[in-house]
Structure 1
Amino acid sequence: MILPTDTQSEEYVAIIDQDKVTDEVRNIAVKYDPLNRSGHEGFHVTDEGDLHIDDSKVMREHKLIEKKIPNDAIRIVPLPSETGQLVHQYGENGFRLYNLPAPDEGSVIGLLGRNGIGKTTALRILAGELVPNFGTPDGASWDRAIESFRGTTLQTHLERLRDGSVITAYKSQRVDSLSDTDGETVRQRLTSRSTDPGRLVDELGLRSISDRSLGDLSGGERQRVAIATTLLSDADLYLFDEPSSFLDAKQRSTVSQVIHERVRDTDASAIVIEHDLAMLDLLSDGIHILYGDSGGFGVVSQRLSVRAGINQFLDGYLTEENVQIRGDAIEFPSASERGSPNEDTIFEYPRLQKEFPGFALSVDPGQIYAGESIGIVGENALGKTTFVKLLAGSIEADSGAVQGTLSVSYKPQYMTPDSQETVHEQFTAVTDTHSRRFKTWIRDPFDLEVLYDRPLDSLSGGELQRVGIALCLARDADLYLIDEPSAFLDVDRRVSLADEIHRFSKRTDHPILVVDHDLFVIDRVADRLVVFEGSPGDHGHANPPQSVRDGMNAFLSSLEITFRRDERTGRPRVNKPGSQLDREQKSNGEYYYDN
């Protein structure tokens, strides 16, 4: 429930649909612009014939022009401003959060927004870890919170937090927070939460690792243990901060179903922060969008339906709030719009075999074309990273050998900031940071200049990811291999980096191979796919590169998951298991419907 307060001074932006701009529209906009009529420049026609106005000059009075313009060719909408109930502020000039999402019994509510916008702060308040101070340093009080949200669905939850009568279970963003100081095993951790964790152990695939120490687990294994530990609590409210990190597509689908079933069967509530739109779509019953100024302030929108919430977020315009949260909409090309790849072969690899104790990988021979981006998909523990390392030459195959003199630049799955060198020092060691090519192709697209003076070990996970990808592309190489670029990034950054990776391959005519579990990212970045099959942890098999449609269809059919395109935005959407669309697509063999 949102409690309105006086809205502060608003800034506006003009959204101009150039396809709808006619001579009549141009004449009306230029003639009736109050800036033009007072001798200043407002709406004007550029040399290219486009209608334009500088963002800094748009004001409320321009809405008079909007009303005169036919066909919605121009919309004057407010930019995000600090509005609603100020709930918490960090210090005198620190970050400010407005409004709170409300738990809903028997439902999973998703939170969607950029990093640094207040999602984790909202979870910490609802978990009872942080008492809201309403902008006053000494004003932290549950009684004041209850009074501020009196009459809303939040009132009861806040009263129970004050009285200690509500049980919350919170899975934090960082799964490396799982303590292993005493060599605690997975079994010991789970049985300390419940005497009968068997069902969750089986559903989340933890039985095979039950006797392993927490400290010996991979990121994906730690994530599943953290989720199981949270769900084993007999809680009234479950809070999950980015549960998809390090999980493969099948595990993400399973976790979504497990969380949803737990909440539904116990009449508990859950609130989830998630950047994987497919998982958010599958998991949530409703969504709050958080918008504002990253690191400055965040505003929690009113609750929206899942489809409307994600679509409005991608549009960059929240209809009910009447606020523009992004300058441009995020659009999705279909397979027919990707164009034909350049089929000039620059690299071939033969049939490869690699064996480790308890695991074997086989690789079908394949060709890589100039200037293409290849997505690599498959379950965890099938050898995807091993495949990348074989091509990179960092490990040798037992059978077959990668021939040729191609140089390879590799961004590993896990970035280890073990250096106190600054970001700028790292880049000067691998490239000429003063060259125009570096500035236009690397520095500016990856927003690096603001990080130049920061030591690597001071960067957040998302900042380190950005730097790692940029460092990989900054090196002079023939082939680029990027392992899990989406980890720790919000949706906007994922879209931006996927687009920049794809654009870089086309500009340089060098191929890029991308391993990732976010199918939203793979769909956006890939020209072709390498699909991995096999039995996780036992054996894996890499198929040769194939089209995105054929590759996705093969991959998703092995997982028994179907995707469709949203009719309005074109974004990939996962079908609810057992739904009519899910059954129809499976019967037609269309696991990846790319209409």
Structure 2
Amino acid sequence: MTTPSDRQSEEYIAVIDQDEVTDEVRNIAVNYDPLNRSGHEGFHVTEDGELHIDDAKVMAEHRLVEKKIPNDAVQIVPLPAETGQLVHQYGENGFRLYELPALRDGAVVGLLGRNGIGKTTALRVLAGDLVPNFGESSGGDWDHAVASFRGTTLQTHLERLRDGTVTTALKRQRVDRLADQAADTVHALLASRPTDADELLDDLDLRPILDRPLTELSGGERQRVAIAATLLEDADLYLFDEPSSFLDVAQRATVARVVHDRIRDTDASALVVEHDLATLDLLTDSIHVVYGESGSFGVVSQQLSPRAGINQFLDGHLTEENLRIRRRSIEFPSATDRGVQHRAVALEYPALEKTFDAFSLSVDAGRIHAGECVGVVGENALGKTTFVKLLAGVLESDDGTVSDDVTVSDDVTVSYKPQYVSPDSQGTVREQFREVADLYSEEFARRIRDPFDVEALYDRTLDSLSGGELQRVGVALCLARDADAYLVDEPSAFLDVDRRVSTADAIRQFSDRTDRPVLVVDHDLFVVDRVADRLIVFEGEPGERGYANSPQPMQEGMNAFLSALGVTFRRDERTGRPRVNKPGSQLDREQKASGEYYYGR
């Protein structure tokens, strides 16, 4: 049988803390480097005086250099390698999953990792939908699974899967497909479940929409209905695939509390795949980081506390396993003034009014500068998407078309990425981009193709893409069009943490390099925090009336937004990432008393 070491030799990376690098450290690293001694370049000192070595040149022998250095200035750590118990392999050269997450009665366990890394495979195995084959071409065997995990916390669960005595309930990722259910209305769907829904209707605020057809629900409403329908199943194991998508900040906090409390009270087990770090932090009792190479292999780490698991994932270094899972950490830079307020006004819109049968929206006039990214935040059902559609010309304001009053130029054009990206075309991704841009230009490659990593998807049809792939293509297509301004609605939906980071950074770079303004509507405050220069904050009564002010500074806007919700955020003291304070905690009370609902970067 082929072993992991036969398939992939271990790779290493040097992690250098320049603040700890002294002349002694430089001398040791340069003089004892085996590459330097053999006439090749290894560790060297740059013109800026920093110690450096190219990633591709780091090898196991450099650990001898690390041992000679008297502090932690240089660490030689391994990159991800296939290790542990091979649980399942798709074909002879297919994707391989190593290890499984541990379940705990009455607890919610989170899975954190990139897309394509094996999280869904792990869910399928523990749900009993996939019999693990342990790399054997002869197929899966539950007896083999029980024997392989004998003596672990998974043994009993695997025995029950073998005996057919485990029931599971799954909340799927794609809530936009909720209308595919046999039921017509929310009430019919929830009434078909075996458990009484009365308490959940209040907890998840579903009573006002009970008689609504499933086809007419918003994204956030579909998500809450899907979560309720899952919790109303009488199950031993509950599986939630991205339960925060399309929910606003307050709803994410509520869903985290409701799911956690219900799992604890029923003494069932739950597994959650979630990419919103604030929600994952609130929702889970423990976390497994899943790492590896997307599409090639995935390894489930040992169980960690939520804080330690999230921080180590962001650092890219699993401390207990001394393993580097990515070459560079995800950082949270301090706020910097990009000077956009000194640039020319690129988009100016008038005060807007829009009234529907049961909802009215009022928006203050605003100005957006060239090269500026403006975040749009607020509870669901306050009119954020309506505002975006008004600016895009998809809807007319009550006073006439907005395009008549968008004043910076006589012919302002707007490119719009809607909340839902529907694969309603049978064409390929390449054909979609060919309609809006020159695929062979250096400008397209630099601004769109490479930052959004879409070339690998060129030959795929839209209806074959995953939710995250479709989202990536949708954002890239929006920015690829030639327009004066860009409106991007929910760009983080279905994207993993790494993709959210790269997408937010790519949007900022696009606006800065093209001098075009971009408006971004999103509920992941990590994404908003990373992408936005200023904020448009929506207030009001959800489903009845909405009001939006003019763009305002980030700190001021976030404080206004979060104070209306009664939610406080803090910065993690070690990584700087935004974290939700638990309601009623000492820090929550202190921040509310001081009026600092959002600690800025």
Query: Is TM > 0.5 for Structure 1 vs Structure 2?
Result: yes
Q: Normalising by structure 2, report the TM-score.
A: 0.94
Q: Which residue of 2 is the match for residue 286 of structure 1?
A: 286
- Following superposition, the deviation at residue 5 of structure 1 comes to 9.8
Question: How far is 1:194 from its partner?
Answer: 3.4
Q: Which residue of 2 aligns with 1:166?
A: 166
Cα deviations by residue, 1:546-575 (Å, 9 ceiling, x for unpaired)? 111111111111111110001111110001
Verify the 8 A CA contact 1:15 1:75 in the aligned structure 2.
Answer: yes
| Cα displacement (A) at 1:538 | 1.5
Aligned mates of 1:244, 1:463 — CA distance in 2: 18
- Which residue of the partner structure matches residue 228 of structure 1? 228
What's the secondary structure of 1:161's corresponding residue?
helix
1:218 is matched with: 218
The alignment of Structure 1 onto Structure 2 pairs a total of residues equal to 591
- Give, in angstroms, the shift of residue 213 of structure 1: 2.8
In structure 1, the residue matched to 2:483 is: 477
Q: 1:152 to 1:560 in 2, by over 3 A?
A: same
Equivalents in 2 of 1:94, 1:383: separation in Å? 46
Q: Work out whether residues 174 and 467 of structure 2, in 8 Å CA contact, stay in contact via their aligned partners in 1.
A: no
Q: Distance in 1 between matches of 2:297 and 2:180?
A: 36
* Kept after mapping to 2: 8 A contact 1:180/1:213: no
Q: What amino acid sits opposite 2:115 in the alignment?
A: N
CA contact (8 A) 1:343 1:370 kept: no
Q: Which amino acid aligns with 2:130?
A: L
Distance in 2, matches of 1:328 and 1:352, equals 45
Unaligned runs of 5+ in 1: none
**Secondary structure of the equivalent of 2:396?**
coil
The one-character-per-residue Cα deviations of 1:97-153 (angstroms, maximum 9, x if unpaired) are 111111112211111000001111111111111111111132412211111111111
1:138-177 aligned at under 5 Å gives the runs 138-177=138-177
Which secondary structure does the structure 2 equivalent of 1:302 belong to?
Answer: strand
Matched, 1:315 2:327: no
Opposite residue 421 of structure 1, the aligned amino acid is G
C-alpha distance in 2 between matches for 1:269 and 1:580? 30
SS across alignment from 1:431: coil
Q: Residues 204 and 255 of structure 2 are in contact (CA less than 8 Å); yes or no, is this contact kept in structure 1?
A: yes
The letter of the residue matching 1:461 is: G
SS of the residue corresponding to residue 440 of structure 2 reads coil
CA distance in 2, matches of 1:273, 1:427: 31
Aligned equivalents of 2:135, 2:427: Cα separation in 1 = 37
- Cα distance between partner residues in 2 of 1:439 and 1:110: 36
Counterpart mapping for 1:495-514 below 5 A: 495-514=501-520
Give the Cα separation in 1 of the matches to 2:363 and 2:250. Answer: 22
Following superposition, the deviation at residue 176 of structure 1 comes to 4.1
Is the aligned partner of 1:427 residue 2:453?
Answer: no
**Pairing 1:206–2:212 present:** no
Task: Give deviations 1:426-468, integer Å, cap 9, x for gaps.
Answer: 2232223333222222221111222223233332221221122
Matched, 1:526 2:532: yes
**What's the CA shift for 1:19?**
4.2
1:407 aligns with 2:410: no
1:237·1:269 contact (CA, 8 Å) conserved in 2?
yes
Counterparts of residues 7-406 of structure 1 (less than 5 Å): 9-46=9-46, 49-178=49-178, 180=180, 182-194=182-194, 196-335=196-335, 337-338=336-337, 340-344=339-343, 345-399=345-399, 401=402, 402-404=405-407, 405=410, 406=412
The CA distance in 2 between the partners of 1:195 and 1:457, in whole Å, is: 35
Partners of 1:239 and 1:83 in 2: CA distance: 26
Structure 2 distance, partners of 1:473, 1:179, is: 30
Instruction: Identify unmatched segments of 5+ residues in structure 2.
Output: none
> CA offsets, 1:384-406, max 9 Å, x none?
11111212223221137433232
- With 278-287 and 43-52 compared, the bigger mean Cα shift is at 43-52
Give the CA deviation at 1:183.
4.7
CA distance in 2, matches of 1:367, 1:408: 15
The yes-or-no answer on 1:437 pairing with 2:443 is: yes
Q: Which residue of 1 aligns with 2:453?
A: 447
Superposed displacement of residue 86, structure 1: 0.7
Q: Distance in 1 between matches of 2:493 and 2:116?
A: 16
Q: 1:582 aligns with which of 567, 585, 588?
A: 588
Out of 310-319 and 448-457, give the one that drifted further.
Answer: 448-457
Q: CA deviation at 1:482?
A: 0.7
CA RMSD of aligned residues (A): 2.1
SS of equivalent residue, structure 2 residue 303:
coil
| Aligned residue in 2 for 1:418 | 424
**Counterpart amino acid of 1:53?**
I
SS at match of 2:302: coil
Structure 1 residues 365 and 571, CA gap change in structure 2 (3 angstroms): same
SS in 2 for 1:301: strand
* Residue aligning to 2:553: 547
C-alpha distance after superposition, 1:291-321 (max 9, x if no partner): 0000111000001111111111111111112
CA contact (8 A) 1:109 1:286 kept: yes
CA contact (8 A) 1:183 1:215 kept: no
Whole-angstrom distance in 2 between the partners of 1:177 and 1:431 = 31
Equivalent residue letter for 2:167: I
Is contact 1:315-1:328 (8 Å) kept?
yes
Aligned equivalents of 2:536 and 2:298: distance in 1? 40
Check conservation: 1:239, 1:271, Cα contact below 8 A. Answer: yes
Contact 2:349/2:406 (<8 A) preserved: yes
Q: Distance in 2 between matches of 1:117 and 1:372?
A: 35
Residues of 2 paired with 1:57 and 1:323: CA distance?
Answer: 18
Q: 1:281 to 1:181 in 2, by over 3 A?
A: closer
The answer to whether the 8 A contact 1:316-1:324 is kept is yes
C-alpha distance in structure 2 between counterparts of 1:551 and 1:475, whole Å: 30
Distance in 2 separating the partners of 1:14 and 1:182: 55
**Percent identity between the aligned chains?**
72
**CA positional deviation for 1:175:** 2.4
State the distance in 1 between where 2:269 and 2:587 align. 27
Provide the secondary structure at the position in 1 that maps to 2:564. Answer: helix
SS in structure 1 of the partner of residue 560 of structure 2: helix
Partner of 1:536: 542
Q: Is the 8 A contact 1:5 1:85 kept in 2?
A: no
* Residues 181/154 of structure 1: CA separation in 2 closer, same or farther (3 Å cut): closer
Cα distance, 1:169–1:419 mapped onto 2, change above 3 Å? closer
Q: Any idea what the Cα deviations from partners look like across 1:7-56, whole Å, max 9, x if unmatched? A: 97311112233444444333322221112222333223455654333323
Q: For residues 458 and 268 of structure 1, do their structure 2 counterparts lie closer, same or farther at Cα, with a shift above 3 Å needed?
A: closer
Aligned AA (1:221): E
Distance, in Å, in 2 between the alignment partners of 1:393 and 1:180 is: 30
Letter of the 2:467 partner, please give it.
G
**Secondary structure at 1:590's aligned position in 2?**
coil
1:51-96 alpha-carbon deviations (Å, 9 max, x no partner): 3333232211100111222442221110100001111111111111
2:448/2:479 contact within 8 Å kept: yes
CA deviation profile, 1:173-199 (whole Å, cap 9, x unmatched): 222454646553221221221362111
Instruction: State whether residues 195 and 233 of structure 2, in contact with CA within 8 Å, keep that contact through their aligned partners in structure 1.
Output: no
Aligned counterparts of 2:331 and 2:179: Cα–Cα separation in 1: 42
Secondary structure of the residue that 1:101 maps to in structure 2? coil
TM-score (norm 1): 0.95
Measured in 1, the distance between the counterparts of 2:360 and 2:476 equals 32
Aligned partners of 2:91 and 2:137 also within 8 Å: yes
Say whether the 8 Å CA contact 1:332–1:571 is kept in structure 2: yes
Contact 2:363–2:548, Cα closer than 8 Å, also in 1: yes
Q: Is the 8 A contact 1:430 1:474 kept in 2?
A: yes
Q: Secondary structure, in 3 states, of the residue corresponding to 2:539?
A: strand
Change (3 A) 1:181 1:174: closer
